[in-house]
Structure 1
Amino acid sequence: MRLVMYSALEAPRLGAVCQNNVVDLNRAHHAYLAASGDDCESRDLADALVPTDSLEFLRGGRRSAEAATTTLMWVLEQLRAGNFPTGVWGEKLVQPLSGVRLAAPVLRPRKIVCVGLNYRDHAEEQNAKIPKNPILFAKFDRSLIGHGEDVEYPAVTEQLDYEAELAIVIGRSGRHIPVATAMDHVAGYAAFNDITSRDVQFADRQWLRGKMGDTHAPFGPYLVTADEVPNPGALKIRLWRNDELLQDSSTSQLIFGIAELIAFTSASVTLETGDVIATGTPGGVGFARNPPVFLQAGDSVRVEIDEVGVLENRIVKRS
């Protein structure tokens, strides 16, 4: 399933992308229950199982996933039969994907954990030693934006850089998670762009201020559930600035794989449902190129990861 937080004329709601359409899962669930003759009169119970928010949906675990799957199958059956199902009050359940705005697929994660120097080709382009352990840093929830939203070019930098990354979203919370069972804690995957004020990062000799900017974590376009990505360690990952291909690699280049990152991080902090781990970027980043390539106002930046999706954002300079 490809989950989104989308909006048309209202606050973002949980949807599922199918056949270039977005299905409102919460409203569709209510309609499905009514159509199937379910005698449950409690809206609160139905809302708890398939809520309007992706984070609350992930907290529902297996039961919420099964309810959403059943609901989506019902909607698709209606569409195949030539029917256009509506909600219990006549509201639209299906809208064209092109007609909605996408927010980040998880709006308020408790943590955004990022990993530095985690691709072999990225280490090689800097002549850097392979790290013995993952290098972790953080971003904040105001950094997150969705597909199609603008990235701010802040006044504090003259070297705005890009970093295409595969992000994982935690489904089941845990602490001291062993490598052997770590993948059981993954809800799904999304594309991520670790926008970096490179001159600020290097001037500070630590990474936080150069990485934490508002809008500097494009994330999406959707959350692809783990069952749809059977081998996340062998995905092509690419980044374009406008029409120029600048990064072209594979997650097979990861130094520390997804299970290792979950185990290592959870040894220090509890990983909670909805937490995001951005797994690092491959070679081809702007500062390491000869000559260096940095983002400019007006640029379009596109991250593409096989089986996961295409994330595109525009760089905008604020006055």
Structure 2
Amino acid sequence: MKLVTIQSQQGAQLGVLTGEGILNVPEALAVVADANAPRTTHQVIEGGASALQALQSYVERALAAAPADKAKFIKPESDIAFGPSVPKPSKIICVGLNYRRHAEETNAPIPASPILFNKFDNTLTGHLCDIPLPRTSSKVDYEVELCIVIGKQAKYVEKADALDYVFGYTVVNDISARDLQMRTSQWLLGKSCDGFSPLGPYLVSADEVGDPNNLNLKLSVNGEVRQNSNTSDMIFHCDEIVSYISQHMTLYPGDIILTGTPEGVVLGYPEDKQVYLKAGDVMTVEIEKLGVLTNRMVSE
């Protein structure tokens, strides 16, 4: 199932991608009542397989409604204001230098253990939302990444069981201000500017994805492909990442993990060929089975 966050005057609302468009669940429930249907993205994540089944059953009921009724709660994607596909994660954990060829292009040693850092919810934004270029940086870069969404509380999880704790996956662009990132040994400043984690457009349940380490992913700027790789190039695969983090902190439903980026970032180019993002640049981020995330950089 593909879930969507719809931004509305009432706040973030749960949507579901259907063959007829985006079904707004709260608006549908006002027309086709169902006490058992989950009403928010977090309720679906936390409820796992049973919540997904309840939501799927409800969507089928709602799609069987009369056309005049369906027009009240189904809209084409072009009419949707997208929010981040996971609206309120309690943790945003990132893995740095997790693709072999990316580590090589930046002349960094291959990590012996996952390099972890964090971001905050001020970085979250949605598909088709503009992202401000911070006034304090002149070296803003892009990073296509697979994002893991935790579905069950996890602590001291074994690698063999780790993917059982994953609800699903989404697309994220880990935008990075390189001059701020490299100012000190801690990367947080360059990673946590406003809007630096566009997420979406869909949150895709794990059953639709299969092996998360066999997905093509790419990123284009103004139509020019800059990154083109496969998640199989990860140094630490998704199961190992979830297991490793759970040895040190409890993961909760809705927590998200950004799993690293492949080669092709601006930072990896020779210095005389580095052209960082500027106002008007449009980034298109795509991961197989997960959809296409598009955002434009604008002057702050």
Provide the TM-score with structure 1 as the length reference. Answer: 0.89
Mapping of 1:267-282 within 5 angstroms?
Answer: 267-282=247-262
Partners of 1:131 and 1:241 in 2: how far apart?
29
- Is residue 21 from structure 1 mapped to residue 3 from structure 2 by the alignment? no
Distance 1:24 1:102, change over 3 A: same
Alpha-carbon distance in structure 1 between the residues aligned to 2:186 and 2:8: 40
**What letter is aligned with 2:143?**
E
RMSD value, Cα: 1.7
Q: Which runs of 4+ in 1 moved over 6 A?
A: none
How far the C-alpha of 1:9 sits from its partner, in A, is 4.9
Q: Which of 32, 55, 58 is the equivalent residue of 1:68?
A: 55
Deviations 1:141-171 (A, max 9, x none): 1110000111111111110011110101111
How far does residue 33 in structure 1 lie from its aligned partner after superposition? 4.9
CA distance in 2 between counterparts of 1:62 and 1:239 reads 32
1:7 is aligned to 2:7: yes
Match runs of 1:77-88 below 5 Å: 77-78=64-65, 83-84=66-67, 86=69
| Residue 193 (structure 2) pairs with residue 205 (structure 1) | no
Q: Which runs of 5+ in 2 are unaligned?
A: none
Q: Say if 2:152 and 2:252, in contact at 8 Å, map to a contact too.
A: yes
Q: Does the alignment pair 1:148 with 2:135?
A: no
Give the match's secondary structure for 2:201: strand
- 1:317 paired residue number: 299
Q: Is the 8 A contact 1:8 1:99 kept in 2?
A: no
Partner SS for 1:130: coil
Corresponding residue of 1:219: 199
The answer (yes or no) to whether the contact 1:29–1:71 under 8 Å persists in 2 is: no
Counterpart code for 2:50: R
Structure 1 position 32, deviation (Å): 4.8
Unaligned runs of at least 5 residues, structure 1: 35-44
Q: CA deviation at 1:127?
A: 2.7
Whole-Å separation in 2 of the counterparts to 1:293 and 1:261: 32
Identity of aligned residues (%): 40
Match of 1:299 in 2: 281
**Contact 2:20–2:74 (CA<8 Å) still a contact in 1?**
no
Code of the aligned partner of 1:75:
A
How far apart are residue 202 of structure 1 and its match? 1.0
Instruction: Give the corresponding residue for 1:260.
Output: 240
Q: How far apart, in 2, do the equivalents of 1:9 and 1:107 lie?
A: 15
Q: Which amino acid aligns with 1:242?
A: N
Once the two structures are overlaid, the 10-residue window that deviates more, 23-32 or 202-211, is 23-32
Alignment of 1:125-204 (within 5 A): 125-204=105-184
Secondary structure of the residue aligned to 2:235 is coil
Count the aligned residue pairs: 298
Aligned-pair CA distance for 1:30? 6.3
Q: How high is the TM-score relative to the length of structure 2? A: 0.94
Match for residue 38 of structure 2? Answer: 50
SS of 1:203's equivalent? Answer: coil
